[in-house]
Structure 1
């Protein structure tokens, strides 16, 4: 299975101080551990750069472009960046017309277009309701605190703890 990480997941991934950071990080680590392929788009990375470099008093992280570049390199190592293609625009146009998308929701429609063009069915997001209209398109929004993911996080932690425990001296 292939997962696209929504920008809100990326922002929590890089901001360890945010209350949702541990949930996002655990979900991403679990999916990666289970060998799911994790993707981002150039749009996600651009939006993330905006969050990272935006002043903290304007709901950003207040980091410098140099710090943002270091974070960008980390994201590029952890995620596969899907290439932009002309087909994404065509699919985006179809989606915004068919679903009557307006305002800021056009950005989510572009993520869905990229997912459809590249055969990615799942999106890890804190805002599942933003993607609900695309269920007919085969898009499945999954929250990082979804019961199935939380259960797998616990199972993986238990396996790790069992594997790292030292046997008792006999």
Structure 2
């Protein structure tokens, strides 16, 4: 079973000092123990880079590009990185039209399009409500830690 990780999960997983780190770490460990493959798509990596290299005064990590690249290399070694396949754009266009997506929600919709293209039904995120409109299984770390597992 494959689970796509939302970017907010990988961002917080890289910050042990964050209050949500323990819940996220436990959820990731639980999913792997249940035989799940933890996946990301290139969009997750681009978004992580933006946060990692953005100044701390602007709610980023304030890392150098070299340090950010090292974190991403470590992430790539541990996760399954799925390619940007042909057809994701067409799926995204269909979804934004079908669900009348506006503004920043288009980024989340692109993750859903990638999920559909790669036949992934499950997403782990902190912001469950961001994906409520889509026909996917959305789990939070707290739900996984309470015993909910992907279907």
TM-score range, shorter chain: over 0.9
Distance of 2:49 and 2:106 partners within structure 1: 19
Q: How many residues align?
A: 148
RMSD over equivalenced CA pairs, Å: 1.3
Q: Which segments of 5 or more consecutive residues in structure 2 lack a partner in the other structure?
A: none
Moved over 6 A (4+): none
Task: State the structure with more CA Rg.
Answer: 1
Using structure 2 for the length normalisation, give the TM-score. 0.94
1:10-159 equivalence runs, <5 A:
10-135=10-135, 139-146=136-143, 149-152=144-147
Distance of 2:146 and 2:62 partners within structure 1: 35
Q: Give the number of the structure whose residues are more often helix, by fraction.
A: 1
Q: Which segments of 5 or more consecutive residues in structure 1 lack a partner in the other structure?
A: 153-170
Distance of 1:47 and 1:66 partners within structure 2: 16
Q: Tell me: higher relative CO, structure 1 or 2? Use CA pairs within 8 A at least 6 residues apart.
A: 2
Using structure 1 for the length normalisation, give the TM-score. 0.84
- Aligned to 1:86, what secondary structure does the other structure show? coil
Q: What's the offset of the Cα at 1:52?
A: 0.7
